[in-house]
Chains A and B, each alone.
Chain A
Amino acid sequence: KQEVTQIPAALSVPEGENLVLNCSFTDSAIYNLQWFRQDPGKGLTSLLLIQSSQREQTSGRLNASLDKSSGRSTLYIAASQPGDSATYLCALISNFGNEKLTFGTGTRLTIIP
């Protein structure tokens, strides 16, 4: 059974700093891995999608990497801003079973002005 872990559960950093969020998974047989952000009480906003054949994706100040062999993905946020404060979730679709997203537990990020 695929398990997805995000550590730490919460992170606070001063505005302007670069930061890395981590996502670990137990089974490397995946279709893709997607990073989302969720603002309190709201739905999920897709940030980046990395296909299993790719190593990284970039969008603006965000860069996501994928290392299937080690079962890890990271989301790098450059020059953090208060508006980046949210919960960040990674989710993946495995090659086997249902083609559903299996979510991590999320990292709650707070950017301190």
Chain B
Amino acid sequence: KAGVTQTPRYLIKTRGQQVTLSCSPISGHRSVSWYQQTPGQGLQFLFEYFSETQRNKGNFPGRFSGRQFSNSRSEMNVSTLELGDSALYLCASSFQGRGTDTQYFGPGTRLTVL
């Protein structure tokens, strides 16, 4: 099986712009979660989607949003970019997103905001 894929791998944007990141889960996985990784804050949970519905949400401002499509692929959007949004954005997929499921991570999208 192919692993979790994320596109693009690298992005450079300027403050005020918006960006969309994409994540394709492992085939058969229906849960997709997004995490932000920064040197200062470590890995923080953004949100989780299951069957096209946002099921869980972390403590991030409304500028961060996402969606999931019927094929379980997910996109994450960040509007009005700020310098502090520079980070590695990771998505993870699991079969159903239950606490007993192993989560598999993609390689990440490195976002730099100038």
Contacts and interface: CB of A to CB of B under 8 A. Distances in A.
B49 interface: no
Query: What secondary structure prevails in chain B residues at the interface with A?
Result: strand
B42 A103 contact: yes
Interface string A42-54: 1111100101000
Contacts of B102: 34, 46, 49
Contacts of A45: 105
Interface in B59-109: 88, 90, 92, 97-100, 102-108
A99 B42 contact: no
Contact of B103 (A41, A98, A101, A105): A101
A31 B99 contact: yes
Nearest to A89: B43
Contacts of B105: 36, 43-46
Q: What is the size category of the interface that chain A forms with chain B?
A: 20 to 34
Interface residues of B, number: 26
B107 A46 contact: no
B98 A99 contact: yes
A55 interface: no
A44 B90 contact: yes
A35 B90 CA distance: 16
Nearest to B106: A43
Among A46, A51, A89, A99: residue with most chain B CB under 10 A: A99
Nearest to A30: B99
Interface of A: 31-32, 34, 36, 41-46, 49, 51, 89, 91, 93, 95, 98-106
Interface of B: 4, 6, 33, 35, 42-43, 45, 48, 56-58, 88, 90, 92, 97-100, 102-108, 110
